């Protein structure tokens, strides 16, 4: 079984985010970057499937040279091969086209992504890649099993769980619960350093969107404490200050 796992290079969740002086560009200076946590879940599941079905895992990342440490961590976790599309990821449409272009020529049985990246939270890649390849796609999968060339998938829906059975090939966006992220050991980390990362040039993609500018969310206001017996004051604040009633 051939498995492709799509990984993003994202700022660590503890990073302090800032933008350029004119707010038109993200400032990456001094930030720690990691494998997107949802993509780590996808990769962990790929490792489980590959071990049980004699599979081969390739990871693909759309990014410039600074993403290579992130790719090497994915190799240390359990990927066999790595592809880096040598381009700055402009948006989900651009990234999905680069992934689909590679996948078209390599006949993957299963393509896994995280449910979303933690920087832009677009939740687009799994569906877009599936559409571009003309294969089924499922997002927000909470459970995934592969048996006899079919995928059994559970995904959360409002007030319930949707159970699906779909023939491979297939694209799946994985969510929490599919697998536990794996911590690479020293031997695998050392081995990943010597593995080759194949670098390919991007295909041209029509630009459908662009970022005008960025802004940080408004800081949270301080908490107002109210005594349990001061119901009238609570109602007044909810009406005049919070404006929720």
So what's the pLDDT on residue 212? 86
Is 2 in contact with 55 (CB distance < 8 Å)? yes
So what's the pLDDT on residue 210? 83
So what's the pLDDT on residue 224? 83
Give the phi and the psi of residue 164 in degrees, each rounded to 5: -125, 150
Ranges of residues in the chain whose predicted pLDDT is under 50: none
* CA pair distance 153, 174, nearest whole angstrom: 10
So what's the pLDDT on residue 31? 84
pTM of the model: 0.85
**Dihedral sign, CA of 165, 170, 175, 176?**
positive
């Amino acid at each position: 079984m051939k498995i492709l796992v799509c990984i993003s290079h994202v700022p660590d969740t503890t990073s302090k985010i800032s933008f350029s002086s004119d707010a038109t560009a993200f400032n990456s200076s001094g930030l720690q970057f990691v494998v997107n946590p949802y993509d780590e879940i996808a990769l962990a599941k790929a490792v489980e499937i590959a071990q049980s079905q004699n599979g081969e895992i390739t990871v693909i990342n759309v990014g410039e040279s600074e993403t290579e440490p992130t790719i090497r961590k994915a190799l240390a976790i359990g990927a066999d091969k790595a592809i880096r599309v040598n381009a700055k990821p402009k948006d989900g449409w651009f990234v999905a086209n680069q992934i689909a272009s590679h996948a078209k020529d390599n006949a993957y049985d299963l393509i896994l992504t995280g449910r979303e990246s933690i920087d832009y939270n677009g939740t687009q890649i799994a569906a877009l890649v599936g559409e571009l390849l003309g294969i089924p796609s499922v997002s927000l999968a909470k459970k995934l099993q592969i048996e006899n060339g079919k995928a059994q998938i559970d995904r959360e829906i409002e007030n319930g769980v949707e159970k699906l059975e779909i023939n491979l090939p297939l694209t799946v966006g994985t969510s929490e619960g599919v697998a536990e992220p794996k911590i690479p050991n020293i031997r695998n980390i050392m081995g990943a350093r010597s593995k080759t990362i194949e670098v390919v040039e991007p295909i041209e993609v029509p630009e459908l969107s662009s970022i005008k500018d960025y802004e940080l969310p408004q800081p949270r206001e301080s908490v107002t404490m109210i005594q349990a017996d001061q119901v009238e004051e609570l109602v007044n604040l909810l009406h005049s200050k919070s404006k929720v009633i």
